[in-house]
Every structure is written in structure tokens, then in C-alpha cells.
């Protein structure tokens, strides 16, 4: 399964539906299902779940967080800022995400770029 690591709180904001555009300084041609994982380190001043939307467990570090579908990747524009939860910055690409759904939280070691994880759908299924 293809995965990507995001720092918290960005991964949790995607999982709770408050963010449906991920931004990167690199373009991807990948389209399809992508597992959102949280990196072990977050952004210190923004990582306390008590002031973020959704349940605190969405803001866990070093974990699988949710599945999404990447449906497009376009140069970021002003119109993307609200859904990306950030301002346009130089060289930014907007990854358009749909079909966001929670998964069982399992440990994961993040990597740069899009990477493969050995978890299956059965592993990630919330029962």
C-alpha cells in the first residue's frame, strides 16, 4: 500500500475532514488510494490536540491515521488556501484529496516521498 508521512497536526486535520488539500513543494503523478501516516515529530506549537478539531487520537504521532484518494495535483492557488489550511507559498503543489476515511492506528516509521507499507486493508479496518 502507498503511504505518505505528514507532521501533526496536518495528518489529524485531514482525518477529521478539516483539510482536504495537502501541499508539497513537489508534484506527484500518483493518483489513487494513499495511506496518511503521522511522523514521530509534530510541529510543537500546534500539536496539542485540545485546541484542534476532532478526537485527540487523530493527532497521535508515528501512526497510521487515515486513507484518502489522491484525485489531482495542481499548482497551488489562492483558492486552495482554506482547504489546505495554509497560505500559498512559492513552488507549492496542491494535492486534491477525496474519500477520506479513518483507519485503525498502527505504528509506522515514516519516510520521505511516497513509500510502501506492508499493512493490508484487513490490518487497517476499524472493527
The model's pTM is: 0.90
Q: What was the pLDDT predicted at 51?
A: 72
How far apart CA 50 and CA 114 sit, in angstroms, is: 30
Task: Give the residue-averaged pLDDT of 18-33.
Answer: 97
Task: Give the residue-averaged pLDDT of 61-81.
Answer: 97
Residue 29: alpha-carbon gap to chain centroid: 17
Query: Which residue, among 92, 95, 93, 86, has the nearest Cα to 46 in the 3D structure?
Result: 86
**Of the options 2.120.10.90, 2.30.130.30, 3.30.43.10, 2.60.40.1120, the CATH number for the domain spanning 2-124:** 2.30.130.30
Amino acid at each position: 500500500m502507498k503511504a505518505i508521512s505528514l507532521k501533526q497536526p496536518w495528518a489529524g486535520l485531514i482525518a477529521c475532514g478539516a483539510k482536504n488539500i495537502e501541499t508539497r513543494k513537489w508534484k506527484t503523478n500518483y493518483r489513487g488510494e494513499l495511506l496518511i501516516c503521522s511522523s514521530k515529530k509534530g510541529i510543537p506549537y500546534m500539536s496539542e490536540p485540545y485546541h484542534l478539531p476532532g478526537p485527540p487520537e487523530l493527532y497521535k504521532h508515528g501512526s497510521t491515521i487515515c486513507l484518502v484518494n489522491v484525485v489531482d495535483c495542481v499548482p497551488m492557488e489562492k483558492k486552495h488556501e482554506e482547504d489546505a489550511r495554509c497560505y500559498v507559498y512559492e513552488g507549492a503543489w496542491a494535492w486534491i484529496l477525496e474519500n477520506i476515511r479513518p483507519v485503525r492506528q498502527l505504528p509506522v516509521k515514516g519516510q520521505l516521498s511516497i513509500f510502501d507499507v506492508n499493512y493490508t486493508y484487513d490490518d487497517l479496518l476499524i472493527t
